[in-house]
């Protein structure tokens, strides 16, 4: 039986496996490669902190996750693929309340990012608040 997400080590497994999958994905891999380049260690550390803060209530992430996504060439198709891969990774390794919360939060984040990007693209003179 799979365990739930309980520790930072669990989050590291989730994040590492998810981004291993992302890097191989034909739709998302090139976007991440272009954006992150050789800075994967920095990105992964940031993602560990982000999910640790959200899921374990251990405040190690400070910042706003949306701004780095503003100028990326992404749309609904990309968010759908990102979410599909994230949920599959969670389900592959974990089961339980925190695993379900991780998927729910990822869904909400993807929706929010997509809405914000659509708004900014439709209103190019507007400046994003966060």
pLDDT in tens, 67-106: 788 888 899 999 999 999 999 999 999 999 999 999 999 9
Residue 124 DSSP class: T
- When pLDDT is averaged across residues 2-27 and rounded to a whole number, the result is 98
* 112 located within any domain: yes
Using the predicted structure, report yes or no on whether residue 130 has a pLDDT greater than 70. no
For residue 58, the 8-state DSSP code is -
The domain containing residue 106 runs over which residues?
8-122
Both tokens assigned to 79: 């968010």
Q: How far is CA 80 from the centre of its chain?
A: 12
Burial of 55 (C-beta count, 10 Å sphere; 0-12/13-18/19+): buried
CATH number of the domain residue 89 falls in: 1.10.490.10
Q: Please give the torsion angle defined by the CA atoms of residues 71, 74, 79 and 84, in that order, rounded to the nearest 10 degrees.
A: -120
In whole numbers, what is the pLDDT of the chain averaged over residues? 93
How much is the pLDDT for 125? Answer: 83
pLDDT of residue 121: 82
57 assigned to some structural domain:
yes
Overall domain count for the chain:
1
pTM for the model: 0.91
Longest dimension (CA), the chain: 52
106: how many CB neighbours lie within 10 A of its CB?
19
């Amino acid at each position: 039986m799979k365990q739930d997400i309980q520790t930072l080590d669990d989050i590291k497994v989730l994040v590492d496996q998810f981004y291993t999958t992302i890097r191989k994905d034909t739709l998302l891999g090139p976007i991440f490669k272009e954006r992150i380049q050789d800075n994967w260690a920095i990105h992964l550390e940031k993602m560990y902190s982000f999910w640790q803060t959200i899921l374990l209530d251990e405040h190690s992430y400070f910042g706003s996750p949306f701004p780095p996504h503003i100028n990326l060439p992404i749309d609904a198709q990309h968010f759908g693929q990102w979410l599909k891969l994230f949920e599959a990774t969670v389900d592959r390794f974990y089961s339980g309340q925190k695993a379900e919360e991780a998927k729910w939060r990822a869904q909400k984040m993807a929706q929010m990012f997509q809405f914000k990007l659509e708004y900014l693209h439709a209103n190019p003179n507007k400046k994003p608040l966060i």
